[in-house]
Protein backbone atom coordinates (compact mmCIF):
# COMPACT_ATOMS: atom_id res chain seq x y z
CA UNK A 1 0.00 0.00 0.00
CA UNK A 2 2.83 2.40 0.83
CA UNK A 3 4.69 1.89 -2.46
CA UNK A 4 1.44 2.53 -4.35
CA UNK A 5 1.00 5.79 -2.39
CA UNK A 6 4.30 7.29 -3.53
CA UNK A 7 3.93 9.95 -6.27
CA UNK A 8 6.87 8.63 -8.31
CA UNK A 9 10.24 6.89 -8.26
CA UNK A 10 12.05 9.98 -6.90
CA UNK A 11 10.71 9.30 -3.38
CA UNK A 12 11.80 6.15 -1.58
CA UNK A 13 10.99 4.53 1.75
CA UNK A 14 13.69 4.78 4.41
CA UNK A 15 11.67 3.19 7.22
CA UNK A 16 8.19 1.94 8.02
CA UNK A 17 7.16 1.07 11.57
CA UNK A 18 3.85 0.08 13.09
CA UNK A 19 3.56 0.18 16.87
CA UNK A 20 1.99 -2.74 18.68
CA UNK A 21 -0.78 -0.88 20.50
CA UNK A 22 -4.56 -0.76 20.73
CA UNK A 23 -4.44 2.28 18.44
CA UNK A 24 -1.35 1.56 16.31
CA UNK A 25 0.91 4.36 15.15
CA UNK A 26 2.14 3.97 11.59
CA UNK A 27 5.34 5.93 10.98
CA UNK A 28 6.63 6.32 7.44
CA UNK A 29 10.02 7.93 6.78
CA UNK A 30 10.64 8.94 3.16
CA UNK A 31 13.60 10.48 1.39
CA UNK A 32 14.65 11.60 -2.08
CA UNK A 33 17.95 12.19 -3.82
CA UNK A 34 16.86 15.79 -4.52
CA UNK A 35 15.00 16.42 -1.26
CA UNK A 36 11.27 17.05 -0.91
CA UNK A 37 8.82 19.11 1.07
CA UNK A 38 5.78 18.95 3.27
CA UNK A 39 3.45 18.91 0.25
CA UNK A 40 4.82 15.53 -0.83
CA UNK A 41 4.51 14.20 2.74
CA UNK A 42 0.87 15.33 2.89
CA UNK A 43 0.13 13.79 -0.52
CA UNK A 44 1.58 10.41 0.52
CA UNK A 45 -0.23 10.59 3.86
CA UNK A 46 -3.62 11.20 2.19
CA UNK A 47 -3.07 8.44 -0.38
CA UNK A 48 -1.90 5.91 2.22
CA UNK A 49 -4.76 6.75 4.63
CA UNK A 50 -7.23 6.22 1.79
CA UNK A 51 -5.70 2.80 0.99
CA UNK A 52 -5.69 1.75 4.67
CA UNK A 53 -9.33 2.82 5.03
CA UNK A 54 -10.25 0.85 1.90
CA UNK A 55 -8.46 -2.27 3.16
CA UNK A 56 -9.47 -2.16 6.85
CA UNK A 57 -12.60 -0.05 6.88
CA UNK A 58 -13.05 3.58 7.83
CA UNK A 59 -13.64 2.64 11.46
CA UNK A 60 -10.06 1.32 11.77
CA UNK A 61 -8.30 3.26 14.53
CA UNK A 62 -4.69 4.27 13.90
CA UNK A 63 -2.36 7.27 13.82
CA UNK A 64 -0.39 7.95 10.63
CA UNK A 65 2.80 10.00 10.45
CA UNK A 66 4.65 10.59 7.17
CA UNK A 67 7.95 12.44 7.52
CA UNK A 68 11.50 12.83 6.26
CA UNK A 69 14.56 11.62 8.19
CA UNK A 70 15.80 14.03 10.83
CA UNK A 71 19.13 15.74 10.26
CA UNK A 72 20.65 13.64 13.04
CA UNK A 73 19.43 10.30 11.68
CA UNK A 74 21.95 7.87 10.16
CA UNK A 75 21.63 7.04 6.48
CA UNK A 76 19.90 3.73 5.82
CA UNK A 77 19.84 3.79 2.01
CA UNK A 78 22.69 4.41 -0.45
CA UNK A 79 20.51 6.89 -2.35
CA UNK A 80 20.56 9.24 0.66
CA UNK A 81 24.21 10.17 0.05
CA UNK A 82 23.54 11.92 -3.28
CA UNK A 83 21.82 15.02 -1.95
CA UNK A 84 24.46 15.47 0.75
CA UNK A 85 27.41 15.89 -1.64
CA UNK A 86 29.34 18.93 -0.41
CA UNK A 87 28.47 18.35 3.25
CA UNK A 88 30.60 16.95 6.04
CA UNK A 89 29.85 13.37 7.09
CA UNK A 90 30.78 11.35 10.13
CA UNK A 91 31.36 7.70 9.29
CA UNK A 92 31.71 4.63 11.45
CA UNK A 93 33.25 1.82 9.44
CA UNK A 94 32.75 -1.94 9.78
CA UNK A 95 36.12 -2.23 11.58
CA UNK A 96 34.84 0.36 14.13
CA UNK A 97 37.21 3.09 12.96
CA UNK A 98 35.69 6.54 12.50
CA UNK A 99 36.25 9.11 9.79
CA UNK A 100 34.97 12.65 9.32
CA UNK A 101 35.26 14.48 6.05
CA UNK A 102 33.71 16.20 3.08
CA UNK A 103 31.51 14.05 0.85
CA UNK A 104 32.83 14.97 -2.60
CA UNK A 105 30.92 12.48 -4.77
CA UNK A 106 28.90 9.31 -4.83
CA UNK A 107 29.59 6.38 -7.09
CA UNK A 108 27.88 3.06 -7.73
CA UNK A 109 30.18 1.23 -5.31
CA UNK A 110 30.80 3.89 -2.66
CA UNK A 111 31.53 7.49 -1.77
CA UNK A 112 34.46 9.83 -2.31
CA UNK A 113 35.39 11.28 1.10
CA UNK A 114 38.06 13.93 1.74
CA UNK A 115 38.93 13.04 5.32
CA UNK A 116 39.71 15.75 7.87
CA UNK A 117 42.39 14.87 10.40
CA UNK A 118 43.86 16.86 13.27
CA UNK A 119 47.57 17.41 13.12
CA UNK A 120 49.29 19.56 15.76
CA UNK A 121 46.09 21.43 16.64
CA UNK A 122 45.36 22.11 12.97
CA UNK A 123 42.91 20.47 10.64
CA UNK A 124 44.33 18.88 7.54
CA UNK A 125 42.20 17.64 4.64
CA UNK A 126 43.44 14.52 2.88
CA UNK A 127 42.76 13.86 -0.82
CA UNK A 128 39.42 12.16 -1.42
CA UNK A 129 39.41 8.37 -1.38
CA UNK A 130 36.76 5.85 -2.32
CA UNK A 131 35.05 4.25 0.65
CA UNK A 132 32.88 1.30 -0.43
CA UNK A 133 29.30 1.22 0.86
CA UNK A 134 30.01 -2.27 2.22
CA UNK A 135 32.65 -0.79 4.55
CA UNK A 136 30.27 1.80 6.05
CA UNK A 137 28.45 0.73 9.19
CA UNK A 138 26.91 4.15 9.89
CA UNK A 139 26.94 7.58 8.24
CA UNK A 140 25.52 10.86 9.54
CA UNK A 141 25.64 14.46 8.40
CA UNK A 142 27.73 16.61 10.74
CA UNK A 143 25.55 19.51 11.79
CA UNK A 144 27.45 22.77 12.08
CA UNK A 145 26.13 26.00 13.55
CA UNK A 146 29.01 28.15 12.29
Residue 98 — very low, low, confident or very high, per pLDDT cuts 50/70/90?
very high
End position of a domain, from candidates 14, 39, 67: 67
Q: What is the pLDDT of residue 44?
A: 96
Mean pLDDT of the chain: 92
- Percentage with pLDDT > 90 across the chain: 72
User: Does 115 fall in a domain?
Assistant: yes
End position of a domain, from candidates 23, 38, 67: 67
Q: What is the pLDDT of residue 141?
A: 94
Q: What is the pLDDT of residue 42?
A: 95
**pLDDT above 90: residue 47:** yes
**pLDDT above 80: residue 146:** no
CATH number of the domain that 35 lies in?
Answer: 3.30.70.1350
DSSP collapsed to 3 states, the chain:
CHHHHCCCCCEEEEEEEECCCCCCEEEEEEEECCCCCHHHHHHHHHHHHHHHHHHHCCCCCCEEEEECCCCCCCCCCHHHCHHHCCCEEEEEECCCCEEEEEEEEECCCEEEEEEEEEECCEEEECCCEEEEHHHEEEEEECCCCC
Instruction: Based on the fold, state whether residues 58 and 100 are members of the same structural domain.
Output: no
Q: Average pLDDT for residues 111-127, to the nearest whole number?
A: 90
Q: How many CB atoms lie within 10 A of CB 35?
A: 11
CB under 8 Å to 54, separation ≥6 — which residues?
A: none
Instruction: Based on the fold, state whether residues 50 and 83 are members of the same structural domain.
Output: no
17: domain range?
A: 3-67
Q: What is the pLDDT of residue 88?
A: 95
Amino acid sequence: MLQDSLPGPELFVVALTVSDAIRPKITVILDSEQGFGIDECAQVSRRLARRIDEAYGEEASYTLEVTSPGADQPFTDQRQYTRHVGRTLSLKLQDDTEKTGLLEATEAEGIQLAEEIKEKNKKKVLPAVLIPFADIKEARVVISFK
